[in-house]
Structure 1
Amino acid sequence: MIKQNVFIINFNSLYEVLCEIKEHLTFKIIKYENKEDFINSFDLDIKNSLVISNSQQKLSQNKNITDHNLLFFNELPLPLNKILELINIQLIKLKFNYQSKVNIKSYELNLNSKFFSKNNVSLKLTEKEIEIILYLNKTKTKHDVSDLQKNIWGYSPEMETHTVETHIYRLRKKLNIKFNDNNFILSHKNGYFIE
């Protein structure tokens, strides 16, 4: 599981406290000395990350920062468990919102409800079907059966099984029936892929 980022800007005392317990945190902390360094350091999409600062000024200039991923501690001091609770609650909200809409080709995948949709038509997917789609979509390369066995099912490549072919066959059939799309997951002699 990938940890969410918490950017701490011009808040050294909070960073130092969190750094002391970082091996117990469910998120990754990244420190910036000032707002300008943070704003100028990157142009990433940070919808699933939290920004903590002791000042709201200038941060709202960045188009990627919204009220949803900005956190201020106006009433300090606070007990550490309360600070961690506020951070974790905000990260859970961000993750839920972030997962509610994943665009893949012309489709929308909601990881929370497990619905795959296009043009107001929806299809409920299983966890494994979602894993297959996300894995194939992650890289635009072809993935052979042994790669999928290893990375989705955790099987050793030597294990003889038709699990991959069966799951992909059923998923492609469901997509074709529901969306009349037989080309979402493509098959090639080198493996399966999403274009």
Structure 2
Amino acid sequence: MIIQNVFIINYNSLYEILDEIKENLSFKITKFENEEDFKKNFDIDIIDYLVISKTYHKLLPNNNVIDKNFLDLSNLPLSLKKLLELINIKLIKLRFNQQSKIIIKGYELNLNSKYFSKETLTLKLTEKEIQIILYLNNKKIKHDVADLQKYIWGYPIGMETHTVETHIYRLRKKISNLFKDEKFILSHKSGYFID
């Protein structure tokens, strides 16, 4: 599971409270002293994040922060329970929206509906097929059977099974039959990959 990020800017007291209970949180918190610190250290490749700042208006024009990534805490005071509820609801909405459309090699993968499409053609995928595509796409290296067995199926290394080969064969066949694409998932002597 991918951990979502909550960036706390110029809000030291809030950060200290959340830092005290961080082992119980479903998200990672990071503190920035001010807007300049955030601008300098923000990793632009992070797409799944929420910002909590007292200076919202200063962040919007100069960063990738948009309304959907910002939590407005102007209705203070809040109980800790209510604050965590607001953060979690906002993160769930962000995750849902993020998952609604992922582009991989010109195809659109919708994790919510489990559809894989290109132009007017649409293919329904299983949960394992989606996991395979995401894993191969996120790791820009070749993955051998043992690697996929461990990270997709949770099998111990060295377990004798043809599960990986069977699933990848079926997935490649489905993509080939509908989209006429023989090269979406490639194989090499060192493993499978999406280029």
TM-score w.r.t. the length of structure 1 is 0.94
Between stretches 155-164 and 16-25, larger displacement belongs to 155-164
Aligned 8 A contact 1:142 1:193 in 2: yes
Structure 1 unmatched runs, 5+: none
| 1:127 maps onto 2:137 in alignment | no
| Equivalent residues in 2 for 1:49-128, closer than 5 Å | 49-128=49-128
Q: Read off the aligned partner of 2:20 and give its amino acid letter.
A: E
- 1:46 is displaced (CA, Å) by 4.1
For residues 80-114 of structure 1, give each alpha carbon's deviation from its aligned partner in whole angstroms, at most 9, with x where no partner exists: 11111111111001111111111111111111111
> Is the Cα contact below 8 Å between 1:47 and 1:94 reproduced in 2?
no
**Distance in 1 between residues matched to 2:132 and 2:190, nearest whole Å:** 16
The two structures have a TM-score, normalised by structure 2, of: 0.94
How far did residue 43 of structure 1 move? Answer: 4.7
**Superposed displacement of residue 138, structure 1:** 1.7
CA distances 1:103-152 after superposition (whole Å, capped 9, x unpaired): 11111111111111111211111111011111111222221212211221
Identity of aligned residues (%): 68
Count of matched residue positions in the alignment of Structure 1 and Structure 2: 195
Q: Partners in 2 of 1:101 and 1:171 — Cα distance? A: 20
Q: Structure 1 residues 157, 43: CA separation in 2 closer, same or farther (over 3 Å shift)?
A: closer
- Mind listing any 5+ residue stretches in structure 2 that lack a counterpart? none
| In structure 2, C-alpha distance between the alignment counterparts of 1:170 and 1:44, rounded to whole Å | 36
Q: Does 1:191 align with 2:186?
A: no
SS in 2 for 1:132: helix
Deviation of the 1:40 alpha carbon: 2.4
Given the alignment of the two structures, is residue 161 of structure 1 paired with residue 156 of structure 2, yes or no? no
CA distance in 1: counterparts of 2:46 and 2:164, whole angstroms:
34
Structure 1 residue matching 2:181: 3-state secondary structure? coil
Query: Could you tell me which residue of structure 2 aligns to residue 18 of structure 1?
Result: 18
- The residue number in structure 2 matching 1:149 is 149
Distance across 2 between alignment mates of 1:125 and 1:66: 32
* Alpha-carbon offset, residue 61 of structure 1: 1.6
What is the Cα-based RMSD across aligned positions, in Å?
1.3
Distance 1:13 1:54 in 2: 12
Q: CA deviation at 1:63?
A: 4.2
Q: Verify the 8 A CA contact 1:47 1:64 in the aligned structure 2.
A: no
